Amino acid sequence: MKRLLATALLPLFLLPGLAQADDKAHTFTDLFEKQRSEAWWKTMAECAGRVKSLTAYGSPSRKITPKEMEERVTMFWIIAVSRIKRDRGISEEAASKIALEGAQEGNSLQNQANLTWTAASKMDWEFDRRIDFCEKQLKDYSIAFPEDFRQSK
């Protein structure tokens, strides 16, 4: 009986981190050439975590400076929190907790990838493709939500 109850309640504990119906989503091609649909906030949070993980490696091609990388991490984070806050109508604190899960997941996934690509002597390639991917997501987001990038007077 306890096991059945625990199984029934599990989805309630998982809901905060999952995309909800009101979350603005987009469809894109991932780095494995698969078509995916995902909430914008989740993409931005994952990029925040991945770029944060990559900051330890520096830019092999010098496309992006360490300072620019930190700025990108901050920008991805702000967009993720802001987007989920508006999509769900929740507080910044609640949105930050949800976005943090996505950022931590992205950081963890990138840390694992860093080990693999470093061992294969392809970390420069991994660095550039991940940064380029997240930059493309940021560009696509700015096209979808130009109002988020207008300066207030």
The per-residue pLDDT for range 50-95, each reduced to its tens digit, is 999 999 887 666 678 889 999 999 999 999 999 999 999 999 999 9
Say whether pTM exceeds 0.95.
no
Q: What is the mean pLDDT of residues 96-110?
A: 98
Total structural domains within the chain: 1
Q: Which residues contact residue 140 at a Cβ distance below 8 angstroms, ignoring those fewer than 6 apart? A: 26, 28
Q: Which residues span the domain enclosing 139? A: 23-145
Examine residue 152 and state whether it is found in any structural domain, yes or no. no
